[in-house]
Amino acid sequence: MVAASALLLTVAACAPPRAPVDPDAPRGEVVTREAIEATGASNMWDVLRRTVRSVSYMTGTDGRPMAIRARGRSSLRTDDQVLVVVDGLRLEDIGLLQSMPPSTVERIVVMSGIEATTAFGINAGDGVIHIITRNR
């Protein structure tokens, strides 16, 4: 009995240390500040349309943003939109992206599937566009 306890202690002591988890570390495709500036866009809606091609952008007849959906999948769920998050907070009205200047954004992290669900919960199953501002 004592030998088994000593063996367990030895194995645990030899395990490699885990790296600390960085909450700011990107978990998906990253659009850098340089790429954002290179678009020449005047608002974040246009930046997303020019840089994040893995989703479909829907606009109303007045040109106002209506929805962002994942490409290639359809769902029977009524809320199957890609989740848009600014500095960790869900953006309820994506129309606000038209008034958000690109100069305020540090980077954009695009997550899909398990990455999005792990970081933002079950409502992020269709993906997340996480906009990280410079003034967080």
Q: Which fold has domain 27-71+80-133?
A: Ferric Hydroxamate Uptake Protein; Chain A, domain 1 (2.170.130)
In this model, does residue 43 exceed pLDDT 80?
A: yes
Q: What is the 3-state secondary structure (H, E, C) of 35-50?
A: HHHHCCCCCHHHHHHH
In the chain, domain spans:
27-71+80-133
In this model, does residue 132 exceed pLDDT 90?
A: yes
* DSSP output for 11-39: HHHHSPPPPPP-TTS--SEEE-HHHHHHT
User: pLDDT value at position 70?
Assistant: 82
In this model, does residue 44 exceed pLDDT 70?
A: yes
User: pLDDT value at position 75?
Assistant: 53
In this model, does residue 105 exceed pLDDT 90?
A: yes
Give residue-wise pLDDT tens across range 54-94. Answer: 899 999 999 899 999 887 655 555 557 899 999 999 999 99
